Each structure stands twice: as C-alpha cells, then as structure tokens.
Structure 1
Amino acid sequence: MELTTVWFGLITVLWIGYFCLEGFDFGVGMLLPVLAEDDTERRVLINTIGPVWDGNEVWVLVAGGATFAAFPEWYATLFSGFYMPLLLILVALIVRGLAFEYRAKRDDDAWRRNWDISIFVGSLVPSLLWGVAFANILRGVPIDSDLEYVGGFFDLLSPYALLGGLMTLLLFLTHGAMFIALKTDGPVRHRAGRLAVRVGAGAAVAAVLFLGWTQLETGSAASAVAFALAAASLLAGLHAALQRREGWAFVGTFAAIALGVAGLFLALFPDVMPTSLAGGASLTTSNASATHYTLTIMTVVAAIFTPVVLAYQAWTYWVFRKRIAVHHIPQATAVTSRA
C-alpha cells in the first residue's frame, strides 16, 4: 500500500476521533440552556466534559498538522478557500475554551450567564460549520488548473452544504444528549434521555437525506456499506435510548458518527478536494502529497507516539467514568484577587 493512501487513512481516523469525541462536547454545550433548570444543574453538565474537552480538541490539531505535513497542497488550498468558516470555527473554539475556564471566576449571575451563552454559541457554530465545510470538500469547490481556490465565501453555502451542516448539528445534539444521560443521574439524566430520542429522530432524517445525496453524487460501494452501517447504528442507539440503556445508546451514536465520517472519506478517495470547474484540476492523494521521504519519517513517528496518546486518553476516560449528580456539586465559590 502506498504511503499516500496510508496517510489518507490516518487523517480519516483523526477526523473520526475528533467528531466522535468533540461531537458530544459540542452537544453538551448546546444543551446547556435546554436541559439545566438552575446553575447547579448547569455545573453538572459542564463537569461531565470538564476533564476531557480540551483533550478532545487535540484531535483536530493533529488532523490539521498531519494534513499540512502529508498533503501540503490540500492544506494550502483548504485553508485559503475556507478561510472565513475556519476562522469562525477557531474563534468559536477560543471563546468556548475561555468560557469553561472563566465561568466560575466570579460569584455573579450575570457573569455566569454571559459565559454560558459563550459556551452555547461556541459549541453551535463549529457543529454547523464543520458539516458545511466537509460537504463542500465532498461535492467539489472552484479550483483552477493551478490548484488554487477561485470561489468566494457564499459559494460554500449551497443547499447540499447547509444540509450537511444541519446533519452534523443534529447528530452532535443527539450524541451530547446520550452522553449526558450516560454521565449524570437524577432529573437531568431522565430529561436528557427523552430529548435524545426526539432530537435523534430529526438527526436520522437529516443523515439519510445527506448521506443518500452524497452516495448518489460521489459514492462508491465501500461508502454505501459504511453509510448503511451508520444508519443502522443510529437507529440501534435510539432504540437503546428508548429502553433507557444509556451505555448502548451512546455506543450507537458513537458508531454512527464514526461510520458516517468513514463513509464520507471513502466517497472522497482518491480525491482530497475535487474541483467543480470544467477546466479545473482536482487535488488527489497523488498530486497533493508530500515527498516519500517525508511520509516515511511521519509514519515512523506516528507508529511510536499514537499508541501512547490513545492509551493516555483512554486512561483519562476510565478515571472519570462515574456518573455526576447535583449532590456532587459543592457550593459555588468565586476566585478573588489579592491586593
């Protein structure tokens, strides 16, 4: 197998990890004003992802770095053509991270309310725009014969792309609700379980429409299998949620997102960014890749450090595996500065 194919597969795995793990982070953030009835319950929701949200974001950093090193032409065209949506995602992630850190710094309702809004918006914007971005990558964007993006921001907002954004938004909401039902106890747990089924029904409709559209336009036999398994996993997860089996419900949405992302990359391969112009040139794993020597060095480094990172993150989830309830939350205290 060629190293370009190996690194296309590794980047696929990195995006799968990011969407599966950061996906429920985003879902929890968007559900903060929906499921929590008071500040204590909001703290319960935030604490479910408190130990892991920053580690989950590392996946997208590694995916970006791997793309830069393995497929520099893809990275250059992607970040120049998608500059505005990627900038909005970056700003949203920065604001969201600040909100997690600064929310408890003052014992003031207005202060906490403003940071809660930041968490909500900082979770909603990436949930929508990641779907829009990947939909455009799949369908193709205006790339000329010099491998340069020649379109504008509004060229990215086609009905297909917006449907992709709606799908990721609803999937992350469902995934987040499943995670909350799995990680909490008491009234929040029951509200999350009921909401997961309702939102999941909408996510299933959006996923079938988007993935079916993708399969008709750019799909392959392998992507069709992945999409079918993703749909089956989502339905199985919703069925488990109805039976109040939160663990299997979360596994169902996790598998649905993983298989869906895998199917999207299978539908894309061997392209990495197809062109929508008649006289343009598509970026492929061949013409967008780095040198063989670079890919060889990267493969050795990845083989050494990837298992270490995976083991550490798995250990983190194991340590913080227990449920959280209102009675676990101590009285809020503000951090004051000394003169």
Structure 2
Amino acid sequence: MELTDLWFVLIAVLWTGYLVLEGFDFGVGMLLPFVGRTDNDRRVAINTIGPVWDGNEVWLLVAGGATFAAFPEWYASLFSGFYLALLIILVALIVRGVAFEYRGKIDDPGWRRMWDRAIVFGSTVPALLWGVALANIVAGVPLDADHEFTGNLFTLLNPYALLGGLATLLVFALHGAVFLALKTEGDVRDRANRLASRIGLAAVVVGAVFLIWTQLAYGAPWTWIFVVLAAAGLVAALVANAGGREGWAFIGTAVAILAVSVTLFGSLYPDVLPSTTDPANSLTVVNAASTPYTLMIMTWVAVVFTPIVLIYQSWTFWVFRRRIRPTDIPAAAGLPLR
C-alpha cells in the first residue's frame, strides 16, 4: 500500500473515531431538555459525558492536523471553501465547552438554564453541520483548475447535503439516548429508553434514504455491504433498547456510525474532494498529498503515539464505567459539573 493510500485510511479512521465518540456527546447534549425534567436529572445527564467529552474532541484535533500534514491541498481547499460552515461548528463547540465548565459556577436556576440552552445549541449545530459537510465532500463541490472553491454557503446547502445533516442529527440523537440509558438509573434512564425508541424509527428511515442515495450516486460496489451493516446496526439497537439491553443497543449505534463512515470514505476514494465543475480539477490522494518524506515521518509518529492515546482513552472509559444514579449528585450546585 502506498503511503498516500495509508494516510487516507488513517484519516478516515480518525474521523470515524471522532463521529462514534463525539456522536454520543452530541446526542446527550441535544436531549438534555427531554431527559432532564429537574436540575438534578440534567446534572445526571451531563455527568455521563463529563469525564470523556473533552477527550473525545481530541479526535477532531488529530483528524484536522493529520489532514493538514498528509494532504495540505485537501485541507486548504476544504477549510477555505467550507470556511463559514466550519466557523459555525467551531463557535458551537466553544460555546458547548464553556457551558460545561460554567454551568455550575453560580447557584442560580436562571444561570443554569442559560448554559443548558448553550449545551443544546453547541450539540445540535455540529451534529447537523458535520453531516452536511461530509455529504458535500462525497458529492463534490465546484473547484477551478487551481483547486479553489468557487461556490458559496448556499452551494453547500443542497438537498443531498441537508439530508446527510438530518441523518447525522438523528443518528447522533439515537446514539446519545442509548448511551444515557446505558449510563444512568432512574427517571433519566427511563426517558432515554423511550426517546431512543421514538428517535430510532426516524433515524432508520432517514439514514436508509441517505445511504441508498449515496450508494446509487457515488458508491462503489463493495460499500453496499456497509450500507446493509449500518441499517442492521440501527435496527439491532432498537431491538436491544426495547429489551432493556442498553449495552448492545450502544454497540449497534456505534457499528452503524462506523459503517456509515466506511460507506462515505469508500465512496470518496481515490478522490479526497471531487470537483463538480470538471473532474480534472478534483483533488485526489495523489495530487493533494505531502511529500513521501513527510508521510514517512508522520507514519512513525503515528506508530509510536496512537497506541498510547488508545490505551489512555480506554482506561478513562473503564474508570468511569459505572452507572450514575440521582443520589450520586451532590446537593450543592456549585460542585463539579456542574
């Protein structure tokens, strides 16, 4: 395998890890008003992701950095063409992070309600826009001969991309609901189970339409199996959730997100950003890549540090594996988290 192909696969893996891990963070944030009728319930929900949300976001930083280093032309065209959409995502992520940290600083219901709204905003916007962005990357955007984006924000808001955004929004909401059911006890768990059943049906329908559209318009023959796997994962998650087996339900949604990612990146290869203006203007793993020497250095760095990161994050999830009960939340609102 050429180093350019290897790094395309590695970047796909990084984005997949980010979507699987940050996906349930987004879902928890979006569902906060629906699972938390009281402040204590909302604190239970937030504390399910409190120890891991910032670690999950590291995957985004690494994916962006790897894209910049391995495929600078891809990074330049992507971040200039998608500038406004990515800026909105960045602002939403900042708002969400600040909300997590500041929510419990003042013992005042109005203060906490303000930051709760910020958490919902900071979770919903990226969940929608990441789907829009990924769909546009697969479908292609107008690029000139210099690989410069010649469209605008409304170019990105096409029907296929908006359907992709709705699909990621619903799948992440389902992912977050089953995670909440897995990690909590009491009323929050019961509400999360009910929400998962309701959201899941919409996620299956919208996700199936989006993946079939992707496959028929852009897919490779071998990616059909992952379309089927994604559908099977979502259906299995619904069945497991209905039976009270939240662990299996969470595995089902994680498998579905993984399969969707493979479908999208598999449909994209060997392009990294197709041009709808002229196929000759498309960015590929060859013309967008860094020098072989740069890719070789990056490969050795990845070999050394990737296992360390994976071991550390796995350890974090193991340490905080226990369910959170309402009685685990301290009475004082000013105590962490929140």
TM-score normalised over the length of structure 2: 0.98
Counterpart-to-counterpart distance in 1, 2:221 and 2:303: 30
Aligned equivalent of 1:266: 266
Task: Verify the 8 A CA contact 1:218 1:267 in the aligned structure 2.
Answer: yes
Structure 1 residue 72, shift from structure 2 partner: 0.2
Q: Output one character per residue of 1:20-65: Cα deviation in whole Å (capped at 9) or x when no partner.
A: 0000000000000111110000000000000000000000100000
Query: How many Å separate the matches in 2 of 1:84 and 1:154?
Result: 11
Q: Which residue of structure 1 aligns with residue 318 of structure 2?
A: 318
Q: Aligned to 2:281, what secondary structure does the other structure show?
A: coil
Aligned positions of 1:18-29 closer than 5 A: 18-29=18-29
Q: Does 1:197 align with 2:217?
A: no
Q: Give the CA deviation at 1:280.
A: 5.4
Cα distance in structure 1, aligned partners of 2:151 and 2:333: 51
- The Cα of 1:332 is off from its aligned counterpart by 2.1
- Judged with a 3 Å threshold, the aligned counterparts in structure 2 of structure 1 residues 334 and 232 are, in CA distance, closer, same or farther, namely closer
Report how many aligned residue pairs link the two structures: 335
Identify the residue that residue 56 of structure 1 maps to in structure 2: 56
Measured in 2, the distance between the counterparts of 1:251 and 1:271 equals 30
Give the Cα separation in 1 of the matches to 2:170 and 2:332: 32
Which letter does structure 2 place at the counterpart of 1:287? Answer: N
Aligned to 1:2: 2
Cα offset for 1:279? 6.8
Report the AA paired with residue 326 of structure 2. V
Counterpart residue identity of residue 318, structure 2: W
CA distance in 1, matches of 2:280, 2:38: 55
Paired AA for residue 317 in structure 2 = Y
Report the counterpart of residue 88 of structure 1 in structure 2.
88
Q: In the alignment, what sits opposite 2:72?
A: 72
After TM superposition, the structure 1 = structure 2 runs for residues 238-249 of structure 1, keeping only pairs within 5 Å, are 238-249=238-249
Q: 1:166 matched to which residue of 2?
A: 166
Native 8 Å contact 1:143 1:280 kept in 2: no
Amino acid at match of 2:327: H
Are the counterparts in 2 of residues 222 and 263 from structure 1 also a CA contact under 8 Å? no
Q: Residue 143 of structure 1 aligns to a residue in which SS? A: coil
Matches within 5 A, 1:23-172: 23-172=23-172
The answer for unaligned runs of 5 or more in structure 2 is: none
Where 2:104 maps in the other structure, the secondary structure is helix
Cα deviations by residue, 1:189-210 (Å, 9 ceiling, x for unpaired): 1111111011011001111010
Q: Find the counterpart in structure 2 of residue 281 from structure 1.
A: 281
2: distance between equivalents of 1:209 and 1:216? 11
For 1:218, the equivalent position in structure 2 comes to 218
1:178 aligns with: 178
AA of the residue aligned to 1:77? S
Partners of 1:305 and 1:195 lie apart in 2 by 39
Cα shift at 1:334: 3.2
Given that 1:234 and 1:252 are in contact with CA atoms closer than 8 Å, whether structure 2 keeps it comes out as yes
Distance 2:148 2:170 in 1: 33
- Residue type of the alignment partner of 2:277: L
Q: Is the 8 A contact 1:93 1:122 kept in 2?
A: yes
Percent sequence identity is 63
Give the alignment's Cα RMSD to 1 decimal: 0.9
Q: Which amino acid aligns with 1:141?
A: V
Runs of 4+, deviation exceeding 4 Å: none
Q: Aligned residue for 1:300? A: 300
Q: Identify the residue that residue 252 of structure 2 maps to in structure 1.
A: 252
Alpha-carbon distance in structure 2 between the residues aligned to 1:323 and 1:290? 45
- Structure 1 Cα separation of the partners of residues 171 and 21 of structure 2: 12
Whether the 8 Å CA contact 1:233–1:255 is kept in 2: the answer is yes
